[in-house]
Structure 1
Amino acid sequence: MRVGIIGLGSIARKHIAALRGLDSRVEIVALRHSHATSPASTEEAGITDLYSLDELLACRPDFIIISNPTAQHYDTVVALAGSGVPLFIEKPLFADLSRPLPTIGSPTYIACNLRFLDSLRWIKKHLAGRRVNEVNAYCGSYLPDWRPTLKNEAWRTCYSANREMGGGVHIDLIHEIDYLYWLFGAPQTVRKTFRNVSSLDISAWDYANYCFEYPTFAVSVVLNYYRRDYRRTLELVFEDATWQVDLAANTVTDLSTGTVLFESPQRFADTYPAQMEDFLHRLGTDSAEAFNTIDEAYDVLRICLE
């Protein structure tokens, strides 16, 4: 198997590790900007540097991973739209909605690995037939801790902290919007508040608050970049019980009784191989149902940004 990669940053390396765990013989070809500005990948076994899109396509990759900065996704997708090569696109799909959704002539998948977290998959399975009254999703984390290799104030240079680079908590943490869409479908109405007045002092939005309205319940979503004690939870309020998903611990607890309904040893890092395995299975099965395609991801982006 040969896989092309555009954007060889930290998230690309997670996908590479997932691929190699599934197929030790996988060949990686990476599109780089230039010989002068991009360090050679030859020191990394199995990665070949290329310097033009034509070169990349000439290698006839089985699929291409798009993991360059979000602000570059649109132009990259358009350039590959007629190639016929399947596209594995890192979330979020695009940085904004200023241009129309391009037509892609090949299978697409938007990488939202939380759909492969065991606790959320348990919720997906056990929601059937239950009347939901209220849903609350929360994710708070500390942006400077996201890039531990960047010293002092260097974290401010990463795209997450800079609005002009396509960063912002509303789009960085689009996972929450995505899994809610996956669980409940598109909401009837969306209201939102974005702010960047915290002590982080960055240009990108560091706080986002959404309210989604469905016919019989509402969903509250709060996201932030400045919480030191990481917390990521989903709460579902039913008539007879309240379930809380602790995404970091991968557990589901009935808060009404204190009973742990589900727990898994799986951690976030394990969702990347699970996601890649599912993607490869779908590529190899013509009759497989499409999953999180570019059209679906564009719907999620509209919820996030419109």
Structure 2
Amino acid sequence: MKVLVIGAGSIGSRHAEILKNSVETAVVEPRDDLRHKFETSSGLKTFSSVAEARNWLPDGVIVAVPTDKHEAVIRELACFHGPLMIEKPLAATRTSVSNIMKIVQNRPTPTFVMANMRCHIGPRMLKENIGKIGKVFSAYSNFGSYLPDMRLGIDYRSIYASSREKGGGVLLDCIHEFDYLNWILGASTLRVAALSRISDLKIDVEDHATVVLSHVSGAISTVELDYLQRVKLRGCRLSGHEGTLIWQSLGKKPENIKITLLKSGSQIPDVLFEGGYDLNTAYESYLAEYLKVIGGKSSSVLLSADEAAKESNLLFDILDANCVRAGTQKLQENKT
């Protein structure tokens, strides 16, 4: 089995390093410096373009270029017929989402979007144990990390997350929170949202977002995201008729995780998991599901392109409300 990874940046390199342990792997990277550096460090075969990789005949292709480049790369992949995996989010604009969906709907094999948090021990154990708390009434999900620390040694102002044009901003960047809530509680619609740029970071996107959703299960969820936490924080609380499930994650490499179940009538929580966790485990599990599909099997875990398009368009609905522009203008006025 052969898998081609498009892009040798941080995420593309991660995917390739994981995949090379189980399948034949190659990487496309147009930048000479990045390509040579990756080839030297990984020992993997590399190509300078999609066209150059055509005769390598991969069984699957992973698109791991910056979000605003997704559409252009996917157009180039018409000659590859194996299952396609696209890094999250699907696209940087609503128009690009529509264009990508027109392309992938004409492909002979399925297209998926990277949603590795579905395989993370936190959301996975919440989903596995949700039956223990009865009907779920509400959920609170949070993610926070300090933007300048996202890529060590790289100026945060140059990365995609800092730029609206490149598909950045904490809302689109942290689409995982919306996806795993939909995975656990069912599809959602928007109730209310507030986006702000409240820090002094040199960015043209929101660094804080609060979103309230209604799910088809009847649950209401609140999602809070930010680029402001000096220590990475992540977690989710599910409140049900018969108890509460809580997942808390602190730090990274490793994450310090605690998952507890509080049953109605008991003051002592059941600890379902406590300890360190390597995020690579979630990536490995998700990519293993993708390899199963390439091999002709099915997967109930992978995020389909159709589902990803709906999730992206929900977030574009929020952005189209001009919350960011209004919040940014107010911030600038307050500083003058």
Which TM-score applies when normalising by structure 2?
A: 0.81
- What is the aligned partner in structure 2 of residue 10 from structure 1? 10
Task: Spell out the pairing of 1:66-215 with structure 2 (5 A cutoff).
Answer: 66-81=63-78, 83-99=80-96, 100=98, 101-104=101-104, 105=107, 106-128=109-131, 130-150=134-154, 154-214=155-215
Runs of at least 5 residues in structure 1 that lack an aligned partner in the other structure: none
Q: Deviations over 1:1-36 (max 9, x none)?
A: 32222111011111112112334xx231x2232548
CA distance in 1, matches of 2:227, 2:219: 27
Larger mean Cα displacement after TM superposition, 225-234 or 285-294 = 285-294
* Contact 2:157–2:202 (CA under 8 A) maintained in structure 1: no
Q: In the alignment, residue 206 of structure 1 is paired with which amino acid?
A: D
1:261 aligns with 2:271: yes
Aligned residue-pair number: 300
Runs of at least 5 residues in structure 2 that lack an aligned partner in the other structure: 250-254, 318-336
1:304 aligns with 2:309: no
Matched residue of 2:21: which SS?
helix
Matched residue of 1:274: which SS?
helix
Aligned-pair Cα RMSD in Å: 2.3
CA distance in 2, matches of 1:189, 1:36: 44
Q: Deviations over 1:61-80 (max 9, x none)?
A: 11111000000112222332
Q: Deviations over 1:128-173 (max 9, x none)?
A: 47211111001111111111222xxx22111111222221111111
Distance change (3 Å), C-alpha of 1:37 and 1:259: closer
Matched residue of 2:284: which SS?
helix
Larger mean Cα displacement after TM superposition, 185-194 or 248-257 = 248-257
Distance change (3 Å), C-alpha of 1:290 and 1:199: closer
CA distance in 2, matches of 1:15, 1:290: 18
CA distance in 1, matches of 2:37, 2:307: 36
* Contact 1:119–1:262 (CA under 8 A) maintained in structure 2: no
- What is the aligned partner in structure 2 of residue 32 from structure 1? 29
* Contact 2:113–2:304 (CA under 8 A) maintained in structure 1: yes
Counterpart among 38, 48, 52 of residue 49 in structure 2: 52
CA distance in 1, matches of 2:31, 2:128: 47
Distance change (3 Å), C-alpha of 1:22 and 1:262: farther
- What is the aligned partner in structure 2 of residue 275 from structure 1? 286
- What is the aligned partner in structure 1 of residue 21 from structure 2? 21
- What is the aligned partner in structure 2 of residue 234 from structure 1? 236
1:37, distance to aligned residue in structure 2 (A): 8.1
CA distance in 2, matches of 1:242, 1:199: 37
Distance change (3 Å), C-alpha of 1:281 and 1:200: same
CA distance in 2, matches of 1:15, 1:202: 28
CA distance in 2, matches of 1:49, 1:78: 20
1:38, distance to aligned residue in structure 2 (A): 5.3
Q: In the alignment, residue 90 of structure 1 is paired with which amino acid?
A: E
Distance change (3 Å), C-alpha of 1:193 and 1:79: farther
* Contact 1:116–1:274 (CA under 8 A) maintained in structure 2: yes
* Contact 1:178–1:300 (CA under 8 A) maintained in structure 2: yes
CA distance in 2, matches of 1:41, 1:244: 40
Identity over aligned pairs, percent:
27
